[in-house]
């Protein structure tokens, strides 16, 4: 009898323990998972760490306010190896293994073109935060960075009017972004009465620009317009151009502040247009830069036009989820075009065929590799990117 009583007592104690633990477990909240497939290796590895840092700061800010809909925010960086094969693996891992609620990232166009269909089929919202060649469309795809219509005409007009460039050499990386940007530049140059003396493309992973630079020297243009992939290829090209002694004005459609700094004085004098620079003078940008410095200290990677948009993207997604009252993908994509995030760039709303009108600036790289903002062109519309939307 005592043995039976002892067993009953043990069972009661076990049940009581389970009841005591159960409420604690029920309070554990599933995180909102934000996947970040980005080029931690490959050509984008110069800028990818800055992208991750922007995401981490945004996640910290959101979590400090209770997360998204009361759920903690979890960012999951994944290496897409800066290319299509890596992107397929990273997108599948993020969606299937990590159960991502949303994908928010900067990638090469080749990686985006490989990953976007995976997100579309899985019905996972994808906020693309990289400037690119335009015309990428999908029901679940949103873009909060610039397209050619926003940056090419102001840059070409400045170089035509102010630097007196009429005869141009055009150079690009041989993939969607490089060719797409050069096509936009060629059209603008011709519309402004300029002449293209030569058009050359370099394979994406190749770093020796000697043959192309020799052709530029032979053509003797008034100026150069170029568009490599983001990150290292910019510096490879500019270093070799400088070593060859060519000094004509240069316009870039692919460089960013972090890459320019990483190249020392290789990019000195280069003109470029963009939607974000650390030199933008507004309270939101000052607060953002101070928060980045406080969080990362000596490890901070210079925020730039390939990383700041990641910060905006997380906040815009959070606003959409709060407004929709859910992280359900179909609800999110309906609400996302209606939210306006007031951030370091100013007001950003992805309401033009899932793209965004953006403030555009002209800048020039200085002798120390740092970038100086020269001109504010105001808000520029992205134009007709996805007419069927």
Residue 383 structure tokens: 């134009």
CB 143 within 8 A of CB 105: no
Query: CA–CA distance from 235 to each of 11, 80, 214, 256 (Å)?
Result: 70, 22, 17, 11
Q: What is the rounded CA–CA span in Å between residue 74 and residue 54? A: 13
Any idea how long the chain is?
Answer: 389
What is the Cα–Cα distance from 118 to 115, expressed in whole angstroms? 5
Q: Are strands 102-105 and 32-38 parallel, antiparallel or unpaired?
A: parallel
Per-residue pLDDT tens listing for the chain (389 residues): 444 444 444 444 444 444 444 444 335 789 999 999 999 999 999 999 999 999 999 999 999 999 999 999 999 999 999 999 999 999 999 999 999 999 999 999 999 999 999 999 999 999 999 999 999 999 999 999 999 999 999 999 999 999 999 999 999 999 999 999 999 999 999 999 999 999 999 998 899 999 999 999 999 999 999 999 888 899 999 999 999 999 999 999 999 999 999 999 999 999 999 999 999 999 999 999 999 999 999 999 999 999 999 999 999 999 999 999 999 999 999 999 999 999 999 999 999 999 999 999 999 999 999 999 999 999 999 999 999 88
Residue 189 near residue 166, CB atoms below 8 Å: no
Res 232: pLDDT = 87
> What does the pLDDT read at residue 389?
81
74 neighbors 101 (Cβ within 8 angstroms): no
* pLDDT score recorded for residue 230: 86
* pLDDT at position 3: 45
Cα gap 121→172, rounded to integer Å:
32
Query: Distance between CA atoms of 142 and 126, rounded to whole angstroms?
Result: 6
pLDDT attached to residue 205: 82
Cα–Cα dist 151/181, whole Å: 10
């Amino acid at each position: 009898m005592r043995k039976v009583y002892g067993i009953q007592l043990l069972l009661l104690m076990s049940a009581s323990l389970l009841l005591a633990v159960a409420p604690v477990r029920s309070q554990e909240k599933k995180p909102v998972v934000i996947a970040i497939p980005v080029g931690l290796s490959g050509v984008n590895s110069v800028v990818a760490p800055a992208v991750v840092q922007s995401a981490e700061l945004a996640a910290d800010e959101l979590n400090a306010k209770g997360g998204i809909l009361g759920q903690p925010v979890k960012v999951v960086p994944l290496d897409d190896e800066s290319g299509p094969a890596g992107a397929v693996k990273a997108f599948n891992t993020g969606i299937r293994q990590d159960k991502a609620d949303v994908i928010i990232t900067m990638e090469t166009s080749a990686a985006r073109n490989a990953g976007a269909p995976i997100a579309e089929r899985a019905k996972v919202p994808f906020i693309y935060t990289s400037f690119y060649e335009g015309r990428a469309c999908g029901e679940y795809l949103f873009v909060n960075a610039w397209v050619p219509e926003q940056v090419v005409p102001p840059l070409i007009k400045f170089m035509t009017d102010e630097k007196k460039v009429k005869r141009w050499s055009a150079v690009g990386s041989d993939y969607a972004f490089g060719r797409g940007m050069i096509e936009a530049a060629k059209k603008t140059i011709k519309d402004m009465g300029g002449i293209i003396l030569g058009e050359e493309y370099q394979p994406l992973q190749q770093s020796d620009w000697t043959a192309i630079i020799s052709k530029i020297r032979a053509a003797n243009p008034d100026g150069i317009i170029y568009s490599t992939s983001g990150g290292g290829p910019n510096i490879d090209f500019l270093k070799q151009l400088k070593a060859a002694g060519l000094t004509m004005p240069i316009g870039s459609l692919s460089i960013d502040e972090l890459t320019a700094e990483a190249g020392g004085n290789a990019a000195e004098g280069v003109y470029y247009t963009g939607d974000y620079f650390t030199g933008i003078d507004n309270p939101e940008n000052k607060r953002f830069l101070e928060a980045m410095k406080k969080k990362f200290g000596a490890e901070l990677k210079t925020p730039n036009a390939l990383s700041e948009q990641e910060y905006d993207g997380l906040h815009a997604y959070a606003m959409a989820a709060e407004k929709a009252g859910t992280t359900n993908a179909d609800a999110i994509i309906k609400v996302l075009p209606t939210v306006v995030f007031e951030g370091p760039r100013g007001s950003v709303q992805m309401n033009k065929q899932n793209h965004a009108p953006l403030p555009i600036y002209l800048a020039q790289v200085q002798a120390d590799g740092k970038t100086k903002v020269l001109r504010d062109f105001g808000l520029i519309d992205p134009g007709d990117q996805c007419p069927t939307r």
